[in-house]
Amino acid sequence: MPPEIATTSARVARVSGPIVTAVGMRGAGMYEVVEVGELGLVGEVVRVIGDRATIQVYEDTTMLAPGVPVRRTGAPLSVSLGPGLIGNIYDGIERPLRAMQAHSGAWIVRGEKPPPLDTARRWTFEPRAALGQEVTEGQTIGEVPETQLVRHRILVPPGVGGKVTWIAEAGEHTIEERIAVLETSDGRRELTMVQRWPVRQARPIRRRLRIDEPLITGQRIIDTFFPLGKGGAAAIAGGFGTGKTITQHQLAKWSDAEVVVYIGCGERGNEMTDVLREFPELVDPRSGRPLMERTILIANTSNMPVAAREVSIYTGITLAEYYRDQGRNVAVFADSTSRWAEALRELAARLEEMPAEEGFPATLPTRLAQFYERGGAVTTLGGQRGWVSIVGAVSPPGGDFSEPVTQHTRRFIRCFWALDTELANARHYPSIHWLRSYSEYAEDVAAWWDKQAPEWAALRAEAMTVLQREERLQQIVKLVGPDVLPDTQRLILLAAEMLKNAFLAQSAFDEKDMCCLPVRQVALLRIVMTLYRRGREMIQAGAPLAELRGLPVVPEIMRAKSTYGNDEIDALREFESRVNEALDAFEKKYARQR
């Protein structure tokens, strides 16, 4: 640390909750980290006027008094990046909660700052660069088996490149030991396994790529109806109790992301406790290993300091970018951005900023854009393809989607999953409403689906048309009842009911249906739409809807999702053949009426 910074005479002049005003701060930079008081509470400079600086403190400021010292560090708020991140649980400023619990018990002690990564643990390093080799920023110089599921690639830091003059032999090393020496244009540079990176600054890339394949989640209403592109941004919005957190848990468990970063931002303590207890016990369905072997958790509950809540999503997205730079597919789940926006509002009020709509700061749209735009499909500095997909939960008060956070979020995303209270109350999960949701990635991923299942686009469009027509017919039904409708329109009601119950609804407790692979999704949808399509032709030829509805295969179609699992595709195709045979027999019965 520079001596002129370490010996500063800065003092606290005013305390207002997490906002502290300090004097004697001439020369301080925006977003510079400082340590406040005798305990060294971590804070960040957010305003500088002359020698006065406004600091937002990431810890509890109770009993902090004017006159206590403020020590500058000369660096922005940064996180440590290296082996040991996966499987860990952090707070919003990357303090390891497990280490803090082991040291201090259940309560976080103010001023406690254990290292984010275990500096004593020895990792098995395998070199991937040779002596004399010219390496560039982002290039892999070694690998470490971080978990059974993730091989951690040690990268040359951004802005660094040169000739390898020394590299460690294969063996065990700590993250702080020297593993390579580069001869650069600026001199000699020693590399270790750990990097530091400021959380508010996006990590550099070579170029952005077009999103052309979906993030497969195993949830039919998402993958088939409202797909999220790999590297895209989505929001899941709904009122209290509609299932936002549960849906995100399902996505974290079943999506084909290689690394998952789950950010609990401002959620209730008991809800976050359930997450911290359940995630370590979950099993990755693809490998049979614990899900935590590819997961990083960031926990900032509603009763933790509000400033740390504000910075937690930047911490999470920075960790995600680091694994993206290793050429991985990373998914970030932020629960919820509404609580994060409330933290912005509280901090803005204490900073005496001019409020905008509903008291939120005028910078809310900019801050949301800065977060969501850090996702994407990219070519990394090392020349690999990497992805960061972002799913942010939005909790509008009373389920009102016209409130500012929801409205501004929709400006920066291309996929919106709207949860419905009535569906949730009816125990229809996921409670994503099929008429209020949308995805602009459908056309982008159509080519991928065409290779997997050429019928996907046509089936999806036809099913959406049926659901839209059913919504209009329900208005008539509510007035005069269904009996006045002709059989062709009542068939639409039947087909929509089957779509909702046999396809869209998906139980997280059904062993066979909790995850549905793309080929099975299309097969189930094709069976329902075949019944509708052929039934419409037969009804127009004079067949009664009541007899069509009474066919034995109809209840079997309703149960097919729980009868045929992902490994029983051949049996599902045989069932589809039986459905067509039953419809052939029914058609022959009324063929003479044509």
Per-residue pLDDT tens digits for 365-404: 999 999 999 999 999 999 999 999 999 999 998 889 999 9
Q: Dihedral, CA atoms, 237, 524, 251, 331, nearest 10 degrees?
A: -100
Both tokens of residue 166? 């020394």
Fold of 3-77: Elongation Factor Tu (Ef-tu); domain 3 (2.40.30)
pLDDT band at 590 (very low <50, low <70, confident <90, very high): confident
Fold of 208-443: Rossmann fold (3.40.50)
Half-sphere exposure of 196 (CA within 13 A, CB side): 8
Is the pLDDT confidence value at 7 over 50? no
- In sequence order, the β-bridge partners of residue 76 are 32
> What pLDDT shows up at residue 278?
77
40 Cβ contact list (under 8 Å, min separation 6): 71, 111, 113
> What pLDDT shows up at residue 186?
86
> What pLDDT shows up at residue 5?
53
Fold of 114-196: OB fold (Dihydrolipoamide Acetyltransferase, E2P) (2.40.50)
User: 104-108: long-range contacts at Cβ-Cβ below 8 A with a sequence spacing of 24 or more?
Assistant: 108/304
CA–CA gap between residue 188 and residue 181 (Å, rounded): 7
Q: Which CATH number is associated with domain 456-593?
A: 1.10.1140.10
Mean pLDDT computed over every residue of the chain:
92
Let me know: does 46 contact 58? Beta carbons within 8 Å: no
> What pLDDT shows up at residue 451?
94
Q: Considering only CA atoms, give the Rg of the chain.
A: 28
Range name among 257-271, 451-465, 537-551 with the lowest pLDDT average: 257-271
pLDDT tens digits, one per residue of 148-173: 999 999 999 999 999 999 999 999 99
pLDDT band at 108 (very low <50, low <70, confident <90, very high): confident
Instruction: Check residues 499 and 303 and name the one with the higher pLDDT.
Output: 499
Cα 47 to its chain centre, rounded Å, is 31
> What pLDDT shows up at residue 8?
57
Is the pLDDT confidence value at 594 over 70? no
CA–CA gap between residue 238 and residue 60 (Å, rounded): 31
Range among 97-111, 266-280, 303-317, 357-371 rated most confident: 357-371
Tell me the domain boundaries of the chain.
3-77, 114-196, 208-443, 456-593
Let me know: does 340 contact 309? Beta carbons within 8 Å: yes
57 SS3 class:
strand
* Biggest alpha carbon–alpha carbon distance for the chain: 99
> What pLDDT shows up at residue 6?
46
pLDDT tens digits, one per residue of 449-501: 999 999 999 999 999 999 999 999 998 998 888 888 999 999 999 999 999 99
| pLDDT average, residue stretch 565-591 | 93
DSSP assigned state of 203: P
| pLDDT average, residue stretch 538-545 | 90
| pLDDT average, residue stretch 525-548 | 93
Percent of the chain with pLDDT over 70: 98
Is the pLDDT confidence value at 506 over 90? yes
Let me know: does 14 contact 23? Beta carbons within 8 Å: no
450 SS3 class:
helix
pLDDT band at 106 (very low <50, low <70, confident <90, very high): confident
pLDDT tens digits, one per residue of 113-130: 899 999 999 999 999 999
Q: How far is CA 261 from CA 89, 244, 299, 499, 540, in A?
A: 10, 16, 11, 33, 53
CA–CA gap between residue 28 and residue 487 (Å, rounded): 76
CA–CA gap between residue 92 and residue 299 (Å, rounded): 7
> What pLDDT shows up at residue 593?
56
Alpha helices in 444-544 (DSSP H): 446-452, 456-480, 487-498, 518-540
| pLDDT average, residue stretch 208-235 | 97
> What pLDDT shows up at residue 3?
42
Is the pLDDT confidence value at 592 over 80? no
pLDDT tens digits, one per residue of 27-76: 999 999 999 999 999 999 999 999 999 999 999 899 999 999 999 999 99
What H or E segment, with its residue span, contains residue 250? helix 244-254
> What is the phi/psi pair of residue 152, to 5°?
-80, 125
Question: What residue has token string 């971080």?
Answer: 146
> What pLDDT shows up at residue 499?
97
CA–CA gap between residue 141 and residue 131 (Å, rounded): 11
Is the pLDDT confidence value at 412 over 80? yes
| pLDDT average, residue stretch 273-293 | 81
> What is the phi/psi pair of residue 537, to 5°?
-65, -40
CATH topology agreement for domains 114-196 and 456-593: no
CA–CA gap between residue 509 and residue 341 (Å, rounded): 33
CA–CA gap between residue 370 and residue 363 (Å, rounded): 11
Let me know: does 334 contact 390? Beta carbons within 8 Å: yes
pLDDT tens digits, one per residue of 354-368: 899 999 999 999 999
